[in-house]
Amino acid sequence: MFDKIVLASGNAGKLKEFSRLFAGQNIQILPQSAFDTPECPEPYFTFVENALAKARHAAKHSGLPALADDSGICADALGGAPGVLSARYAGEPKSDAANNAKLSADLADKDDKSCYYVCVLVFVRHEHDPQPIIAEGIWRGLWQQEAAGTNGFGYDPHFHLPEHGCTAAELEPEIKNAVSHRGLALQELLKKIQAVM
């Protein structure tokens, strides 16, 4: 049906991850930067709306099927915050250290430290695709005030996984890729794409 997909992201790590996943399908993943795609606004309060906007935007500028993800961390005690604002939780410029410090401060006096990562993936065949393929992955854990581990990025050093006895940043990358929110969403997306191809 198609042999190329544009990824609605400039993130090199995501490009590598998605390229590896789709290599077995003989589908090439191209970054949206290859098509001089401008940054897409993300004005929505939900992961799915932002991912859909990014996918349609990339498809419009490239003329190719497009894949987008929107992801972040949600703390139960904060009503799901930071949510879609995860990357800029502490404001501009974006800073993992500042975001982690803010979330630690916001959760310091809360008894409930439960939180979860969310990843929503949206695939569109073209800009006006009436039936986007949507997959979601959720990864549950507990907020840990002290950072631990050097793998991963973002909130990973504070995201404690009771079943593994460590933080996401202490997991081996192969294990993380299999059990993380993005890993779970990728597995679901691939099944859904294969079902309609």
Catalytic residues: 70
Question: Whole-angstrom Cα distance, residue 41 to residue 39?
Answer: 7
Question: Whole-angstrom Cα distance, residue 83 to residue 118?
Answer: 8
Between the CA atoms of 10, 13, 19 and 22, what dihedral angle is there, to the nearest 10 degrees? -110
**Residue entry with tokens 């970054």:** 31
Cis peptide bond prior to 82, omega within 30° of 0 = yes
Question: Distance of CA 8 to CAs 60, 82, 156, Å?
Answer: 11, 22, 23
